[in-house]
A and B are shown apart, each in its own frame.
Chain A
């Protein structure tokens, strides 16, 4: 039985709690959030206690073996250090950290303290994304040439509006399209060069849009689009190879759409699409991490992968600020962006 303490009752904390609720071998031992009411809504179906602080949780709980950090990015480092110090295995939301130095610090410290560290790059667990990788590996489209991805929708709202604070979140690039950076690197290997443009620094209120070109060492050219200027939320990809094309668009593939005549919570005259699965990608991801703990195995997304994803994102931010392409190599010291 795993005893999991969840930090944060925001969007991801809620989603993770719902996944754990479905698992037989997991007990959520508590949810830490300074907003009691929000946390209570997440905790009560699980019969879990709510703690106002980590201190309170640690002084109250007899036992836990996993902490699941679902807090804003800039808080990751402090929390990882706190729990690694006392030997607790860690699941941490993506991005692993706000800066490369913090990311490296987190990885090194967990290794030093001999605790496991899993970073929740959940896109690798979305069946529609995994399938493209599988088909490409089987040769369905021949050698990949040009890839395009889209991820975006409306500007996100979070605790204290932290997404809108670039120094907290790293914005659209570090918080959102890092998913696609990781996914593309998973398929095509290391990135050689990054060039990017975005609305960062243009003083537009709650609006961001980014177009990033990645050149992989394998030759693949990828175009990564991120938006906090659209409505709703959609993701898309298209990978064109020497002998074929594979594509997916969440806005077009809708297995279930609910349209209610009654005006009500989120459904009044509005179409509510769902893509129901017996196991959600979040469930699959957490189940995989727990299995890796039990069997002492490498996860399919490692902490080093999470570092590399931040490295691509930071290079994109650097390119946006300098107007120049950024060549990636591990020896280079990146300016703080």
Chain B
């Protein structure tokens, strides 16, 4: 099976490429990137072909593509890939608005190609274990959740709203919202958010706390801030606490770490847990091979985008936004 990658703008492309190369019978068949320097460098690193434009990659003999371009380009790249009959794994957020997201879901359906949203956190082993505990009824009925997905400000195009569609809220809302929806099989129907630019000098939101209400009556909060500073021992976190009638579970998805104290870098947390990006790529490959419904659909991607958009609206109107 041959897979192409459209753009290395998003740093996840690197670990997806590495994951592809770890799977037997799967080949990274080419990289398209409008940035020639980056594209040729990556093609060289992964020993594959470089394409200057997306259409040339799409006319090559490949079955699937991974779209890791800047957020605003997802819609064009997914549309082009779908029309060329390629199955697609699209980086999150699926789109920067719900109109584009709907269009992407529709075009993939029309062309009979798989559209999977890249939510690797679903493949974090502690998150999977938490889902088992929830489904085994260990917590009783779920009442509330509290999540964080904080990080360092990624800079570059991420802080250019014309390319990213937004800052911390756009970047870090969708992972944990997806996990919450997935764990409970419920939808978000109301969003309240306090959002602001409090850390960076650039004009982009970098701090946000969202409060969510779900269709099953559960309430939750999510901290999506880019507020890990340079000397923090890691890039960021994914945490989730679930409060149920019979108990609670607390997940710190990257807590499988050792502490490294070096004179160069100070304290660094070195992760040794399972590679969730590899889990995601393995799942996508299996999905394409078996032509089955993806585990994380385009609709899942769209629902998460909807929450991020509602958070921005809530922050500007200073009231809760109903999306039910």
- What is the interface of chain A, defined by CB distance below 8 A to chain B? 141, 143, 145-146, 148, 193, 195, 197, 199, 202, 204, 207, 209, 211, 213, 215, 219-221, 223, 225, 227, 229-230, 240-245, 323-325
**CB of B120 to closest CB in A, whole Å:** 24
Cβ contacts under 8 Å, A221 to chain B: 194, 196, 198, 207-209
Q: Which of A141, A146, A223, A230 has the most CB of B within 10 A?
A: A146
Contacting residues, chain B, for A199 (C-beta < 8 A): 143-144
Q: Taking the complex as formed, is B192 at the interface, i.e. its CB lies under 8 A from any CB of chain A?
A: yes
CB of B124 closer than 8 Å to a CB of A: no
Query: In whole Å, how far is B71's beta carbon from the nearest beta carbon of chain A?
Result: 23
Q: A211-B219, A213-B194, A323-B320 are in contact. Are A146 and B144 (CB under 8 A)?
A: no
Alpha-carbon gap, A213 to B315, bound state (A): 12
The answer to whether B213 touches A242 (Cβ under 8 A) is no
- Are A197's CB and B318's CB within 8 A? no
- With A199-B143, A325-B192 as given contacts, are A213 and B198 in contact (CB-CB < 8 Å)? no
B248 contacts partner chain A, Cβ-Cβ < 8 Å: yes
Chain B residue at minimum C-beta to C-beta distance from A229: B243
Partner of A219, one of B146, B198, B209: B198
- Residue B245 at the A interface, CB < 8 A? yes
Main secondary structure of the interface of B (DSSP, over half): strand
Partner pick for A223 among B196, B223, B243, B248, CB 8 A cutoff: B223
Tell me, in angstroms, the Cα distance from A221 to B228 when the chains sit together: 15
Closest residue to B212 on the A side, CB-wise? A197
B225 near A204: Cβ-Cβ < 8 Å: no
A81 to B249, alpha carbons, bound, how many Å? 46
CB neighbours (8 Å) of A242 from chain B are 198-199
Contact B227 A240 (CB under 8 A): yes
Shortest distance between the CB of A267 and any CB in chain B (Å): 24
Q: Is the CB of A244 within 8 A of B144?
A: no
- Considering the chains assembled together, what is the distance between the CA atoms of A6 and B229 in angstroms? 48
B232 interface residue per 8 A CB criterion: yes
Shortest CB-to-CB span from B318 to chain A, Å, is 6
- Chain B 267-305 interface mask (CB, 8 Å, partner A; 1/0): 000000000000000000000000000000000000000
Q: Is the CB of A145 within 8 A of B198?
A: yes
Residues of A within 8 A of B198 (CB): 143, 145-146, 219-221, 242
How many A-B Cβ pairs are below 8 Å? 91
Q: How far is the CA of A243 from the CA of B239 in the complex (A)?
A: 23
Check if B221 sits within 8 Å of A223, measured CB to CB. Answer: yes
A211 and B221 contact, Cβ closer than 8 Å, known pairs A229-B243, A240-B229, A243-B229: yes
Task: List the B side residues contacting A202 at CB < 8 Å.
Answer: 143
Query: Is B257 interfacial (CB-CB < 8 Å)?
Result: no
A211 to B318, CA, bound (A): 18
Docked Cα-Cα span, A204 to B144, in Å, equals: 13
Contact present for A223 and B245 (CB under 8 Å)? no
Which of B207, B229, B319 meets A324, CB within 8 Å?
A: B319
Closest 6 CB pairs of A and B: A145-B198, A240-B227, A197-B219, A211-B221, A221-B194, A146-B207
- B219 CB contacts on chain A under 8 angstroms: 197, 211
Cα A93 to Cα B304 in complex, Å, equals 45
Cα–Cα, bound, A195→B320 (Å): 10
Contact bitstring B191-228, A, C-beta under 8 A = 1, else 0: 01010101100000011110101000001110101011
Instruction: Tell me the smallest distance from the CB of A322 to a CB of chain B, in Å.
Output: 10
In the bound complex, how far is the Cα of B217 from the Cα of A204, in angstroms? Answer: 14
B199 contacts which chain A residues (CB < 8 A)? 145, 240-242
Complex: how many Å from CA A211 to CA B222?
Answer: 10
A227–B206 Cα gap in the complex (Å)?
28
Mark B248-267 against chain A: 1 for CB-CB distance below 8 A, else 0: 10000000000000000000
Instruction: Name the one of B192, B206, B209, B227 contacting A245, with C-beta atoms under 8 angstroms.
Output: B227
> How many Å lie between the Cα of A240 and that of B150 in the bound state?
11
Chain A residues with CB under 8 A of B146: 211, 225
Residues from chain B with a CB closer than 8 A to the CB of A241 are 199, 229
Apart from A197-B219, A197-B221, A211-B220, what are 5 other A-B pairs with CB-CB below 8 Å? A146-B209, A221-B208, A227-B243, A229-B248, A323-B190
Q: Complex: how many Å from CA A245 to CA B196?
A: 18
Most buried by A among B208, B209, B243: B209
A324 touches B144 (CB 8 A): no
- Determine whether B37 belongs to the interface, using a CB cutoff of 8 Å to chain A: no
Indicate if the CB atoms of A204 and B229 lie closer than 8 Å.
no
Q: Which residues of B sit under 8 angstroms from A243, Cβ to Cβ?
A: 229
Task: Determine the residue in chain B with the shortest Cβ distance to A320.
Answer: B219
Closest Cβ of chain B to A285, distance in Å, is: 30
Taking CB atoms, residues of chain A closer than 8 Å to B225 are 145-146, 240
